[in-house]
């Protein structure tokens, strides 16, 4: 009799947990869709940036603070 009561409790708890998980998953925010290429370009074009060039119009490398070099550049006209 005791085993039957324990099994019944386990089943009740399992049902309760399943219902709780279903409710929680239905209330979760949907996963946002990936940005399109145009949306990415629009966001990047909105960030003001510049690059330093040398006389040969090559990007001037600067120290990255860790003993290495890094370069940054951008297009002078917005991309479509």
Average pLDDT, integer, range 20-47: 82
26 vs 71, residue with greater confidence: 26
What percentage of the chain reaches a pLDDT higher than 90?
0
SS3 letters for the chain? Answer: CHHHHHHHHHHHHHHHHHHHHHHHHHHCCCCCCCCCHHHHHHHHHCCCCCCCECCCCCECCEECCCCCEECCCCCCCCCC
66 vs 50, residue with greater confidence: 66
pTM above 0.85, yes or no: no
Q: For residue 24, what pLDDT is reported?
A: 80
Average pLDDT, integer, range 60-79: 68
């Amino acid at each position: 009799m005791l085993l039957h009561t324990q099994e019944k409790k386990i089943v009740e708890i399992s049902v309760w947990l399943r219902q709780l998980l279903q409710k929680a998953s239905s209330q979760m925010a949907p996963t946002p869709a990936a940005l399109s290429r145009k949306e990415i370009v629009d966001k990047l074009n909105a960030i003001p940036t510049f690059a330093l060039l040398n006389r040969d119009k090559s990007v001037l490398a600067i120290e990255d603070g860790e003993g290495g070099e890094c370069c940054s550049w951008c297009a002078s006209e917005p991309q479509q």
